[in-house]
């Protein structure tokens, strides 16, 4: 069940909200847990057992780590091995078998297991909980209801952000529900679903047109590269907005996951602004334990390579994701060794162009089905495939999607947000904005609904993760 669906918006969510807010506080976690399990069961009837098994493993190992301090390292390793093994089985087994067959010319049959939705996200949440209990950063959770609620919480289950137990531990036991918080949550959710349906889906249509046509041009390759970079930003940040908004409605505080990454002036800065929850997870649980940047250059390079190899592989079982991760590893290594200082000496516009170019190239690789396909598409940007610079087909679709491209470019920067904040500094205008804001949100929700009813195109980019 997608957030951007009629079934979620007008059936599931209203029913959950009514039951939740009429339920006494001590039973609210139970209602959220049941709702989350129904939400997951709707899309993955069988694989709900995998998630429940992972939760039970985390609960038992957490208790054992807390009770038997002498053997807690053994229990930590056991928990990590079980969680990673489940993830590898369902997500990477066919990848390893395929490559083994290619290498040894063997004929081992593929398992063809369906990837459980959200398994990468909830596995990392479980790992963070167990590791933090081991390091005594959080007390062990003795209520399996609370732990299961944390792992399965439907607002962030299928597309993140990766919520750490330490960040919502207190909310699980006691949280406040205020009109202001609920209002803020509704606002954030409406903005998120509008970004998803009205911007990301439109950009997705343009990208699909490019991928399906044989009448390409150099200009169309560039439009696709720009369009997909914007689509994945609006798609993923929209889901994060919706998750954060829903979290506020139910009394939780989820950390921000995006902070206008396309205004970055270096790749290092870009990864402080893009998918923040994933970046900080790898930083705290892989990079820093390896020594971080407080080591020699050789180990620093090793640490970055390991982190970004894992980051790429986390996204999917395909060589395109591995090379995507390694591309960023190389760029980050070069920046840390010498390029960051050089970048500071050049005009800011050139810094932005440098970041946007490599990010755009990386997302072509990210979205390709194979390395060969990615090479062809990147080559197309520079006319290496023999196409004309522009043709009538390209001109038609550029005109058709020009408005949404302009809106998305502006929306990917803090320009509009900053202008609204400046206007709010004036009391009269602030009052007008406060009156118009709910009206605008209602209008957007109606517009989103009409689009969802009329359109069958509603992709979920992070479905494969």
Residues with a known catalytic role: 315
Taking the CA atoms of residue 74, residue 76, residue 80 and residue 81 in that order, the dihedral angle to the nearest 10 degrees is 10
Backbone angles phi, psi at 165, to 5 degrees: -60, -40
Closest by Cα among 124, 139, 51, 123 to 280: 124
CA angle 251, 257, 258 (to 5 degrees): 130
Count of C-beta atoms within a 10 Å radius of residue 90: 20
d(CA 441, CA 301): 47
HEC letters along the chain: CCCCCHHHHHHHHHHHHHHHHCCCHHHHHHHHHHHHHHHHHHHCCCCHHHHHHHHHHHHHHHHHHHHCHHHHHHHHHHHHHHHHHHHHHHHCHHHHHHHHHHHHCCCCCCCCCCCCCCHHHHHHHHHHHHHHHHCCCCCCCCCHHHHHHHHHCHHHHCCCCCCCHHHHHHHHHCCCCCHHHHHHHHHHHHHHHHHHHHHHHHHHHHHHHHHHCCCCCHHHHHHHHHHHHHHHHHHHHHHHHHHHHHHHHCCCCCCCCCCCHHHCCCHHHHHHHCCHHHHHHHHHHHHCCCCCCCCCHHHHHHHHHHHHHHHHHHHCCCHHHHHHHHHHHHHHHHHHHHHHHHHCCCCHHHHHHHHHHHHHHHHHHHHCCCHHHHHHHHHHCCCCCCCCCCCHHHHHHHHHHHHHHHHHHHHCCCHHHHHHHHHHCCHHHHHHHHHHHHHHHHHHHHHHHHHHHHCCCCCCHHHHC
Question: What separation in angstroms does the CA of 352 have from each of 239, 263, 281, 348, 360?
Answer: 26, 7, 26, 6, 12
Taking the CA atoms of residue 123, residue 129, residue 134 and residue 138 in that order, the dihedral angle to the nearest 10 degrees is 170
């Amino acid at each position: 069940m997608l957030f951007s669906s009629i079934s979620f918006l007008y059936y599931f969510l209203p029913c959950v909200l009514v039951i939740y807010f009429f339920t006494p506080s001590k039973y609210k976690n139970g209602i959220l847990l049941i709702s989350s399990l129904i939400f997951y069961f709707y899309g993955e009837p069988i694989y709900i057992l995998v998630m429940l098994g992972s939760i039970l493993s985390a609960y038992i190992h957490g208790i054992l780590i807390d009770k038997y301090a002498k053997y807690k390292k053994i229990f930590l390793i056991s928990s990590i091995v079980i969680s990673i093994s489940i993830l590898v089985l369902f997500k990477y087994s066919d990848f390893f078998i395929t490559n083994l067959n290619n290498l040894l010319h063997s004929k081992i049959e593929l398992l063809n297991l369906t990837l459980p939705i959200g398994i990468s996200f909830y596995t990392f949440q479980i790992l963070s909980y167990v590791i933090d209990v081991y390091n005594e950063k959080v007390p062990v959770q003795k209520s399996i209801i609370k732990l299961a609620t944390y792992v399965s919480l439907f607002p962030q289950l299928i597309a993140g952000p990766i919520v750490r137990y330490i960040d919502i531990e207190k909310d699980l036991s006691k949280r406040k529900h205020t009109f202001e918080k609920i209002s803020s949550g509704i606002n954030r959710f409406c903005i998120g679903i509008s970004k998803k349906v009205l911007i990301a889906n439109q950009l997705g249509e343009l990208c699909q047109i490019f991928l399906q046509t044989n009448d390409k041009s150099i200009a169309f390759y560039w439009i696709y590269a720009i369009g997909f970079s914007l689509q994945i930003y609006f798609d993923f940040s929209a889901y994060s907005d919706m998750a954060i908004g829903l979290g506020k409605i139910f009394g939780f505080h989820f950390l921000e996951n995006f902070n206008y990454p396309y205004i970055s002036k270096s790749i290092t800065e870009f990864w402080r602004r893009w998918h923040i929850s994933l970046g900080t997870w790898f930083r705290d649980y892989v990079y820093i334990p390896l020594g971080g940047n407080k080591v020699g250059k050789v180990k620093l390079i090793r640490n970055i390579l390991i982190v970004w190899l894992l980051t790429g592989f986390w996204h999917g079982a395909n060589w395109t994701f591995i090379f995507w991760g390694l591309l960023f590893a190389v760029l980050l290594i070069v920046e840390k060794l010498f390029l960051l200082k050089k970048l500071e000496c050049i005009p800011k516009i050139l810094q932005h162009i440098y970041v946007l170019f490599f990010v755009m190239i990386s997302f072509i690789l990210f979205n390709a089905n194979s390395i060969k396909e990615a090479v062809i598409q990147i080559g197309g940007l520079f006319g290496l495939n023999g196409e004309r610079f522009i043709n009538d087909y390209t001109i038609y679709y550029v005109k058709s999607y020009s408005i949404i491209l302009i809106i998305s470019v502006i929306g990917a920067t803090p320009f509009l947000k900053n202008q609204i904040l400046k206007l709010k500094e004036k009391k009269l205008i602030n009052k007008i904005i406060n009156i118009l804001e709910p009206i605008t949100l209602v209008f957007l929700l109606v517009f989103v609904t009409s689009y969802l009813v009329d359109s069958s195109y509603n992709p979920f980019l992070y479905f494969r993760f």
